[in-house]
Structure 1
Amino acid sequence: MKKKATAVILGLVMALGMSACTKTSSKSYSFDVSTGDKVEVKLDTSDGYDLTQEDGRFTVKNADGEDLLQASWATAEDFDSYVKTVKNDQNAEINSEEDDYIYWDYTEEDGTVEHNRAIMVSGKTGILIGSLADKDEGTKAYEALTFTVK
């Protein structure tokens, strides 16, 4: 009986120890956007990312301080305009698209590839996000973001 109780206690201690290793951390900013919406931008920083903001724009940086994503706010009209422009631009390759989201690569004349996203977070507020980082690295950073309209 004593051995069984010891094994159960040891198992519980190990389970608690393992769950304590799963740490998450985050950083967030709230923005009062010109559309009238208040939007919280939250970044999961547990992979070493950092979220900064200046003049109402926000940037996601990696652990070395290099910019991965740069973002600015857009109206619904801006979003619609970007979608039309992207669809008609031979230098743009659409990766995915939904009613309120478009993700595309844009190749500059010098061969530089920008990875861009336009997202509607409400009926009147959108976000434009650009990245010159490696596509996979930029996507991973984007997936660490959440947007909440307050």
Structure 2
Amino acid sequence: MRRNLKKFSCSILFAGIMVGCCACSSSSSKSYTFNVDTGDKVKVELDTSDGYDITSDLPFSISKDGDQLSQGTFITSDDYESYVSVVNETDTATVIDKGDNEAYEYIMWNNNDEEYDYAICLKDSGTGILIGNNVSENSAKECFSRLKFSIVK
């Protein structure tokens, strides 16, 4: 009897571990690779958990549960520098965030309280990305946080 109880306890423990492992592996992603006019090949990847999706419209568009949130297009690194200059010098734009990591640098701003934009410059490349979101600041930040960009060699 004690042996059966021990086997039963081990089975329950094993089943619990398996359920826990399955629950933790629910993340997913989707990516597109674009041949950009700058000559670079750029991979854009989105974490698609929680109903988010990316399509290759415009060159790319991000939606959640079918509602379009953000659209992105490619620019040159010179265009990126121009956007940064204009945003820093104009009265109609308010810088919300800026930063960098090992893959890119970026600036986020609000345009007349109507649109939330990101300009991104990929490091070691001549390519930038412009992303616009007219839903909300939180929506723009959530979409951006789900994105990964990389140069395909």
- TM-score bracket for this pair, using the shorter chain length: 0.7 to 0.9
User: What is the DSSP-based 3-state SS (H/G/I as helix, E as strand, rest coil) of the residue aligned with 1:85?
Assistant: helix
Q: Kindly, what percent of the aligned residue pairs are identical?
A: 34
Structure 1 partner of 2:74: 73
Q: Tell me how large the CA RMSD over aligned residues is.
A: 1.7
In the alignment, does 2:119 pair up with 1:137? no
Report if the CA contact (8 A) 2:115-2:136 is conserved: no
Q: Which 4+ runs in 1 deviate beyond 2 A?
A: 1-9
Counterpart CA distance in 1 for 2:144 and 2:131 is: 9
Q: Shift of residue 5 of structure 1?
A: 4.2
Structure 2 partner of 1:40: 43
Query: So what's the TM-score if we normalise by structure 1?
Result: 0.87
Report if the CA contact (8 A) 2:62-2:143 is conserved: yes
Opposite residue 141 of structure 1, the aligned amino acid is C
Counterpart CA distance in 2 for 1:91 and 1:5 is: 69
Structure 1 partner of 2:21: 19
Higher helix share: 2
CA offset digits 1:27-68 (Å, max 9, x no partner): 11110011111111111111111111135x1100110x2211
Counterpart CA distance in 2 for 1:54 and 1:10 is: 48
Opposite residue 99 of structure 2, the aligned amino acid is E
Matches within 5 A, 1:48-127: 48-54=51-57, 57-63=59-65, 65-98=66-99, 100-107=105-112, 112-122=113-123, 123-127=125-129
Report if the CA contact (8 A) 2:120-2:129 is conserved: yes
- Give the unaligned 5+ runs of structure 1: none
User: What is the DSSP-based 3-state SS (H/G/I as helix, E as strand, rest coil) of the residue aligned with 1:54?
Assistant: coil
Counterpart CA distance in 1 for 2:134 and 2:77 is: 25
Counterpart CA distance in 2 for 1:141 and 1:97 is: 16
State the number of aligned residues.
144
CA offset digits 1:62-85 (Å, max 9, x no partner): 10x221111110111000000000
